Copies of this chain bind each other. A is one copy, B any other.
């Protein structure tokens, strides 16, 4: 078999889970590991508070213990439970936020983030601290839109375009979409800002491919 990458969405939203699957679809190809996307059916509708963030760690650990995979991705752009999940498996475990930030850093020196709501900042800030790159964030701009508006094909375009433009004015050289719910709006942010745009589901897909395929390189020693 070619391997399996399991993306676990810690919230229970089916539409959000579908959006993740759609975002990573371009990375699926014959002979490469396949991407499966699942969700915590008993999880919160979204990870909106610190309490939500802590609450999904244990269910994520159990899901990983239950489900065999070659690599796991925590499918929320605040990396809930990452440290715990890494202790229950020997396989690589990735967080979408860390994957997005590091992917952005490979493209430019200063990144900007479009946040879901003001409430999301402290959790993303904590992850930036763990990466040691808090001071490379040029700006963080929340949309504060309801999830259903955010995932609408058209409704949030103006707000996303405006945020992307403002991030550029404030020194961002690359834009990170700070929530999986914005996955459909990569083009809008890119056109508005003229900057590269990093979509976290895709950044995690690329990182997971590296984690799985990297181990496959034929050792010249054999």
Binding site for B on A (CB under 8 A): 22-23, 26-27, 29-32, 49-51, 53-55, 57-58, 61, 81, 83-84, 86-88, 92, 94-95, 98-99, 102-103, 105-107, 109, 122, 125-126, 129-133, 135-136, 151-154, 157, 183-188, 190, 196-199, 202-203, 205-207, 209-211, 213-222
Given A106-B94, A210-B202, A211-B107, is A217 in contact with B26 using a C-beta cutoff of 8 Å? Answer: yes
| Docked-complex contact B87 and A23, CB < 8 angstroms | no
CB neighbours of A94 from chain B (8 A) = 106-107
| Docked-complex contact A185 and B221, CB < 8 angstroms | yes
Q: What are 23 A-B interface contacts by the 8 Å CB criterion?
A: A22-B218, A29-B30, A32-B32, A50-B57, A50-B83, A50-B86, A51-B58, A54-B58, A94-B106, A98-B105, A105-B105, A109-B131, A109-B132, A129-B132, A132-B132, A132-B136, A157-B221, A186-B217, A187-B219, A188-B219, A198-B210, A202-B214, A209-B209
